[in-house]
Amino acid sequence: MPPRKVKLPGRDFEVAAKPTRRKKAAELPNLSPDLMKQALAPLAESLPSLHAPTVEPEILPPEPKTVSEFASAIRTEWESAQERFLRIGELLDMASLSLGRDGIAQLDASLPFGRSAKSQLLTAYRAIRSGRVPEEVASAGYATVYLLAAMDDDAREAAKAEGLLRPDVRQADVKAFRARFSQLNNSAQPAYSDRLEALCRERDRLRARLAEIERELSEAT
C-alpha cells in the first residue's frame, strides 16, 4: 500500500502503511487416480442409478384383424424363431376362421412359406391342440410333429411304444419308423391280395357260367 500523509502542526509526515499478510492456501494432498477411485467408490455404490435401473414396460402388439396384419405377424414369427410354430399355426387357424376365401388367397400370397409348409404347420398345431400328439413333442419342430400327426392311430400307438413321442425325437427317427411300419404292413398284404384275386376270378367264372345257363334256358323255351 502507498504511504499516507499525516499533518501535524508545523510539519507533514508520511506514515508507511503496514503490509497486510495473506493467508496461505491449504495445499491438497497429491492423490493418484487409483487412490481417488478408491475414495469415491463408496459414494458411487450408493447412487440409485446403479442399483435401480429403469425397466420399460413391455408393449404388446394388437391382435391382427386384416390380411396385411396377419401376414406381418406371421412373417415376424417365422423369421424370429421357426421352432415357435405353435403361434404360427394358431395365427393360421385364426385366419382360416376370420378371413373369407379371398382373404385367405391374399394371405397365402403374402406368406414367407408355401402351401405345403402352411398345411404342415396347421396339421401340427391342431394335432398338439387336440392332444393327438403330446404337447411336449412340440419342441421337436413342426415337421416332426406333422409326420407323427399324419400317422393313423395304429402307427402312432406303435411309435409311442417305441418311445418316439418325446421332446428330443429327431425327424430322421420318425421317417425311419414310418418306413419300417409301412414295410411290415406291406409284407402282410400278399396273402390277402392273392385271396382277393382268387375270389375275383371265381366270381367272373360264375358270372360267365350263369350267362351261359341263361342262354341255354332261353333257347330251350
CA atoms within 13 A on the CB side of 3: 7
Kindly report, residue by residue over 175-191, the tens digit of the pLDDT.
998 888 887 776 555 55
**pLDDT score recorded for residue 28:** 52
> Do 138 and 166 share a structural domain?
yes
Average pLDDT, the chain: 77
154 occurs within a structural domain: yes
Kindly report, residue by residue over 85-124, the tens digit of the pLDDT.
888 899 999 998 888 888 899 999 999 888 898 999 999 9
31 occurs within a structural domain: no
Phi, psi dihedrals of residue 21, rounded to the nearest 5°:
-85, 130
> Do 75 and 162 share a structural domain?
yes
The structural domain count of the chain equals: 2
> Do 192 and 156 share a structural domain?
no
116 occurs within a structural domain: yes
Query: 124, 148 in Cβ contact below 8 A?
Result: no
Query: 136, 148 in Cβ contact below 8 A?
Result: no
Query: 14, 7 in Cβ contact below 8 A?
Result: no
Strands (DSSP E) contained in 93-153 are none
> Do 212 and 118 share a structural domain?
no
**pLDDT score recorded for residue 43:** 59
Q: What pTM was estimated for this model as a whole?
A: 0.51
Containing structural domain, residue 142: 67-179
